[in-house]
Every structure is written in structure tokens, then in C-alpha cells.
Structure 1
Amino acid sequence: MRVPHWAATWLEHWPPALQLLSLRHQGLALTPLELCALGRQNGVAAAAFGPEPTAGADALVLSCLTGRLDTLLRQLGGNRAFIRLGSRSPKDTPLAVLGGLEVRSGAEALAVLCAGSARLAFDLRVALQADLPVWVFLREWVDISWPDEWRGFLRRGRLVAACPYHYRHPLPPSASIEAIQRNLIRMGAAVAAARRGSPEADLVFDVWLPAGDGHAAKLIEINPWGEPTDAGLFSWADADLDGTLRWRSDAGLCCVPLVS
């Protein structure tokens, strides 16, 4: 099956070398019945997923999906996980903000997927129209401090820009810019190598850089190049992606050159 260019960054389409850079996860492909039942239950643009076939059909389908998610959690190990679609996470709901997309059971996972996410509704809808399978993933849960999450911009296999994922906040003075710079360059090179030959080689990656331990860095996400992906402290103008690492401090905007 040929993957559309707009779905090339979805987790289920990552090559094995890229998955090795990331956190452990387990996934399942939604059946067509599950996809439509989920779209209706989520409640955003529900009409796009057609009417419920018969009274009570969605409840039965979603009950089975809950069981499959319970099995997925057991396969992952541990008692909690981060839930997302292969495309992205449904982080745009009050429930997601409150719980951080942490789930401890299939029922909790289903509740997050049915909480009124416009992001989830859009991705389910475009996948349905393209006859493309949709995957749900449970990822091992790790507590990530916001200063340890960074965004890198890869263009033609080169790291051309980087900034904090949470770029609106001043970086703590204790942050080691030299270590962050070194580990971003290392991860950028690894991502570029894993994606070499891909028609969608230009991308934006998000990475967890645990303070003081660059070798424990983990790839969190890859995103399509250009809008609507957030450019952080940059813009999508080529001239602005100038080979620098930018961050905010209490004194204002700071930058240093990147060498990749």
C-alpha cells in the first residue's frame, strides 16, 4: 500500500531504525467499525462517520476495543502508558490537559479517545476518506520535565534549526546549552540516517533530552515540514532557519550556532 505523503510521519510508518530511537510502544490497527464508532463517540464532526448501524452497535464495538486496549497495555508492561494515534496525540481536550494522556486501563484509554478531540476527528476523517488504516499506540510512560523536550528542524538531512518544544518559557539557568546542542546534533544525524532515501526527508522532530544523560535521549515525534507544524522560535521562511539553536532566558532571546 502506498502511503500518502501527509501520513509518512505517522508512527506506524516509521522504519525500524527510527523506532529504535524512540520509547517502547505497542500498537493496534482500528477496524473500520471501530474507527467509525470512535469518530461518532468522540462527537466532533460525528456525521462524517455515518449513522450507527443499529441501536447499541457502537457500545458493543467500543467494548471490544476496550478489551483490545487492555491487552495492549499488558503487552507493553507496567501499569500506565501514554496514549496517542499513529498520526498524533488527542491533546486538545480538557481530559487530556488534566491527565496528560496517561492511562492505566483500556477504559481510560477509550475515554481519552472519545473526549471531543478535534485533532482526532480530523485524522480519523482523512484516513477514512483515503481508505488508510488508523493505528492507536500505547507508549511507555516517562515523566518528562518541560525543559528537557526539544524540537529540531531537518532539511535535506541537515539540522538547520532547534529550540525548546515549550519555547514560550525561559529556560532554567541550570540548563547546559553545550550538552543540549551536542545531543540535538547527535539525534538529528540519527534521524536523518534512519530516514535516508525517504521522499519526505524534510521533517521536524521532537526529542527528550534527559538532563545530564545525552545517551538516554529518546525520539518522541516526527512532524511534517512546514505549516501547520509549529515553527517554535523560528518562522517557515528559509532565511530564518539559519542554523542556530534558539531559546528564551530571563534576559531575552538567545542563540548559538548549530554545527551538523
Structure 2
Amino acid sequence: MAAEQLSATDYIVHHLTHWRLQTDGFWSGFHLDTFWFSLILGFVFVGLFGYVARKATSGVPGRLQNFVELIVEMVDSQIKDAFHGKSKVIGPLSLTIFVWVFLMNSMDFLPVDLLPTIAQLIGHYGFGMDPHHVYLRVVPTADVNLTFAMSLSVLLVIIGFSIKAKGVVGWIKELLTKPFHAEGLVMSIILAPVNLVFQAIELLAKPISLSLRLFGNMYAGELIFILIALLPFWAQWVLGAPWAIFHILIVTLQAFVFMMLTIVYLSLAVEDH
């Protein structure tokens, strides 16, 4: 949809509206565009890295193999520096987080109207829908539902790592005796609820910080691209090109930060304080 067909407010609202299920109740909030784009990009990651792994050679590697090996070595070095335990899961998990989040963030580089316009044409000519009622948002990480789902998944992994490293009894004991440790049964019982509250706050702060940091940066970037699309054609290039170049850093940095914080949180989970 061209920006000039709608008022500026309607244009912004339309681009910030998700493609949802046409139903009432709980599932009416299910964002189909977020689900499908994140799923497709996940398959792109698995397919690309799987292809490179199958075609890998010990001789002179190609450019694609060099690029993939560079990413794997970068992730591996970060794990060695930040993770102080032993786990066969941390490597694949960290690599998946970095590449998948990067791919989802990179959807912001597509022209603002490209995929929404294609969706409108398909909806109008293929299904007889009103183009103004066809919505599509292409940046999954600009959806707080996705970032919270990812961060909650990380929280479950953190709890799993803690239980595996310390056992169920050891993990529960840590929840009740840290950060305030007391000598004697009576004081330990008195401080147990306080320690549990502090531990709960610490656990909940991790997914909240992970999700809101990623969501806030990507939502702001998406909104700026939409605002630039409202400008005259010549001004779009003047402002859009520098912002796109700068946004490359944001897209990469947010994927890296999400991965690094996950590694650090998992390292803390397996440490015996």
C-alpha cells in the first residue's frame, strides 16, 4: 500500500497492525504473521547450516562455508569466555539464538511496503478481501509476544540447568537460603520467605529484560522506517540509507546481546554460589 493512499496516522496504524485469526476469544490475539515469519526463518537457518555441514570440506572452503565457520567460531569463543560449566546444549542453543534472532531482525531491511503490498494483492485478487483490511508485519522481533516467548523459554532452560547442576533439593535450598544465609534453624526459617522473594524477582527480571530490550529496539527501528516511508521519495533515500546502515549495527548487536545474556544467565545457573 502506498503511503499517499492513506493519512499519515492511518498508514502508521495499518503497518503496526498484526495479521490475526478471524475469531473471538483467546486465539484472536494469535499473530499469524509473527508465527509464520519466525517459523520460515527458523527453517532457513536450519536448512542453510545443514547444507553447509553436509557440503563442508577440509580442503579450500567456499565463501559460504567460511562465513558459517566464522559465525560458529565467534559463538564458540564467547561460550568459552562466559560459560564456566560443561554442557553439550549450550553451543547449539547459543548458535541458534544468535542466527535466528539476527534473521528475524534483518526483516527490517526490506522495504516497508513490499511484503504488505504483496499480501494485499493476494488477499484482494485471490480471496476478494478489502486491501485496507489486509495486515502484515514482517519483523517478528518487533512483536512483544515473540520476544517474551523466547525469553520465557530461556527462563525454563535456566531452571533446567540449575536443577541438573545442583539437583532438585539443592536448587530449592538455594532458593530458600540465598542471598541471606543465616546460622541456626530458626533464623533460616525466618529468612526463607525473604530469600524466596528475592530469588523470584531475580528470575523474573531476566526474561523481562531480555524480551523488552530486544522488542524495544526492533519496534523503534520498524517505526522509524515507517515514518521515513511517509516522506517524499527523494527524502526517503536521504534519510533511509544512513538509518539502514546504522540499523545493521542494531540488528547484529541485539542478536549478540540476547545470545550473550543467555550464556551468562546459564553460567550463573550452574555455578555453586
For Structure 1 versus Structure 2, the TM-score category normalised by the shorter chain is: under 0.3
In proportion to residue count, which structure has more helix?
2
After TM superposition, the score normalised by the length of structure 1 is: 0.24
TM-score after normalising by structure 2:
0.23
The one of the two structures with greater contact order (alpha-carbon pairs below 8 A, sep at least 6) is 2
Specify the structure having the higher radius of gyration (Cα). 2
The structure with the greater share of residues assigned to strand is 1
